[in-house]
Structure 1
């Protein structure tokens, strides 16, 4: 299943003690930024799937949902989640400055795994887009506007 808005709110506000989560968050945000900088024409991702890169993602029930999405939907989802992640990170830093003794963690205990999967997805979108652009540059495929 997928997280709704309420699920994401809970995810960003749930306390945990896993020290690797900020690193996973940084990797995820970095991968999405690279994806955003690479993908100049998101519309090229419409109708394109990642069936050839299924091994990129761990097997779980959410992959059933993701197999029905195209890369454009992944692209917009990843950008949206990144915005929330960055906002939660800013809130966390402000709270840490205000009261270090009452440090409150904004991540779900399973967030590391989710961010790892989302990072792989962002990297896969970037890779597939670069592949599409390479084919366009070699005139192997024509543009669909």
Structure 2
């Protein structure tokens, strides 16, 4: 019984919910610590190892823009992704309509006989593929959340150093 509880705890530690909670907690801590976000303006990311990996060749962001980005990601996680514009929604709707009409055309042209064994195998492969896709994206999301959490903690520490309270609350 004890072994099962340990396994559940390890699995729970690696759950998506826990990864999300760790990220949200790190960003909340960052938000509470950074009392004057404007002090982060023009402070380059590249002085910190963890944060230097964020900077692309084109992006010359500072810690303030990254602070805003982390808060925006937290907001998207807590409240959902921002609503698409009416134009974007209309375009997406047109894509779906086209896909559905071509699918119904192809199904109307096919025979109405019951599923053959090859079609059943294809359905099973699609189900397996969906499971693999889900696992792939879940692992990716957990990896990204872990990196973002580390970077929120790093930004918080860096802010403390910038204002001279590097030894407090670590």
Assess same fold via TM > 0.5. Answer: yes
Which residue number in structure 2 is paired with residue 118 of structure 1? 148
Give the aligned length: 96
In 1, distance between residues paired with 2:21 and 2:58? 23
Q: CA-atom RMSD, angstroms?
A: 2.5
Range with bigger deviation, 24-33 or 44-53: 44-53
- 1:16-43 CA-to-partner distances (Å, cap 9, x unmatched) read xxx6211110000000000000000000
Which residue number in structure 2 is paired with residue 37 of structure 1? 32
Give the C-alpha shift of residue 50 in structure 1. Answer: 2.6
In 2, distance between residues paired with 1:22 and 1:28? 10
For structure 2, the 5+ residue unaligned runs are: 1-13, 81-133, 166-170
In 1, distance between residues paired with 2:30 and 2:71? 9
Q: In 1, are the aligned partners of 2:45 and 2:51 still within 8 Å (CA)?
A: no
In 2, distance between residues paired with 1:37 and 1:114? 23
Partner SS, residue 48 of structure 2:
helix
Change (3 A) 1:65 1:127: farther
TM superposition score normalised by structure 1:
0.58
Q: In 2, are the aligned partners of 1:51 and 1:67 still within 8 Å (CA)?
A: no
Which residue number in structure 2 is paired with residue 142 of structure 1? none
Give the C-alpha shift of residue 65 in structure 1. Answer: 5.7
TM superposition score normalised by structure 2:
0.50
In 2, distance between residues paired with 1:123 and 1:45? 15
Give the C-alpha shift of residue 130 in structure 1. Answer: 0.3
For structure 1, the 5+ residue unaligned runs are: 1-18, 89-104, 136-145
Change (3 A) 1:75 1:57: closer
Q: How does 1:63-82 map to 2 (within 5 A)?
A: 63-64=55-56, 68-82=60-74
In 2, distance between residues paired with 1:116 and 1:129? 20
Partner SS, residue 40 of structure 1:
coil
